[in-house]
Amino acid sequence: MQKIAVIGAGNMGGAVALGLHRLSKDASITVTAAHASTLDRFTNIGIHATLDNVSAASRADIVILGVKPWLVQSVLGQIKPALQGKVLLSLAAGIPSAQMVEWLSGSGVEAAYTVIPNLAAEIGESMTFAAPIIGEAADVVHSVFDKLGKTLIVDERRLHAGMMVASCGTAFALRYARAAMEGGVQLGLYPHEALEAVYQTMKGAVDLAVSRGTHPEAEIDRVTTPGGITIRGLNAMEEAGFTASVIAGLKA
């Protein structure tokens, strides 16, 4: 039985806790938050919750740090004595590993990783990237986050790229969905029809490409009849800067 404490059950920490509760039969989950009202949705479904970060970390073998980046240093200061011999998985983005090493000095932590999942962890469909900070515990990272989707262990440089593509990427993909929905309404669909159509089409396109193991362009080629309407649409999107806009967003 994995004893896991999620310190900071906000949007991302909460998604991880909910996903593990639903999908992991060999994990005992404790969550914490700064306010009792935040914990209600967890206690209502049987997840142990507390306002005491130190108590939660003390009881765990694996500590998942889900607080905002600007709170990491202070929260680590609280729970540092409870990290001896344990694995710390930090969900905070943008903190250099050298800084984390400094903050964890003297903690006796067995291993520490920066882990960047996305909100689909809640339903077991996350794309998670992880990079080591201290020690080696890739098996622990996989044992937790493979339950919530797919996991890649990378170096720190590629972690940032993975965050843009996979974590921020959730918002980018849904912004496309919103745009396609608005276009469908302009063309004559009712909003609920356009939304259902866009979501199902996105899901079907991804599932198709994954099941066939193909590059996106291979499936695009199967849709684009020479001289047809799909290639006209694709070319119009490119003229409006579609690919350049996506890459610019990732780089920004």
In this structure, the answer to whether residues 103 and 177 fall within a common structural domain is no
Where does residue 185 rank: exposed (0-12), middle (13-18), buried (19+ CB within 10 A)? middle
Residue whose token pair is 């992880």: 130
The one-letter code for the residue type at 233 is: G
Q: How far apart are CA 168 and CA 66, in angstroms?
A: 16
User: From start to end of the chain, where are the E strands?
Assistant: 2-7, 27-32, 48-50, 62-65, 87-90, 111-116, 126-134, 149-153
Measured N-to-C along each axis, helices 191-212 and 169-187 cross at an angle, to the nearest 10 degrees, of: 130
Residue 58 belongs to a domain: yes
- Domain extent at residue 228: 169-251
Would the pTM of this model clear 0.85, i.e. be above it?
A: yes
Number of H helices, E strands in the chain: 12, 8
Residue 199 belongs to a domain: yes
CATH of the domain at 57: 3.40.50.720
CATH of the domain at 232: 1.10.3730.10
- Structural domain tally of the chain? 2
In this structure, the answer to whether residues 99 and 224 fall within a common structural domain is no
Residue 160 belongs to a domain: no
Q: How far apart are CA 89 and CA 110, in angstroms?
A: 11
The answer to whether the beta carbons of residues 118 and 145 sit under 8 Å apart is no
- Residue by residue, pLDDT tens for the chain (252 residues) are 899 999 999 999 999 999 999 999 889 999 999 999 999 999 999 999 999 999 999 999 999 999 999 999 999 999 999 999 999 999 999 999 999 999 999 999 999 999 999 999 999 999 999 999 999 999 999 999 999 999 999 999 999 999 999 999 999 999 999 999 999 999 999 999 999 999 999 999 999 999 999 999 999 999 999 999 999 999 999 999 999 999 999 999
Mark which of 101, 130, 155 sits at the end of a domain. 155
The answer to whether the beta carbons of residues 109 and 87 sit under 8 Å apart is yes
In this structure, the answer to whether residues 26 and 146 fall within a common structural domain is yes
Residue 30 belongs to a domain: yes
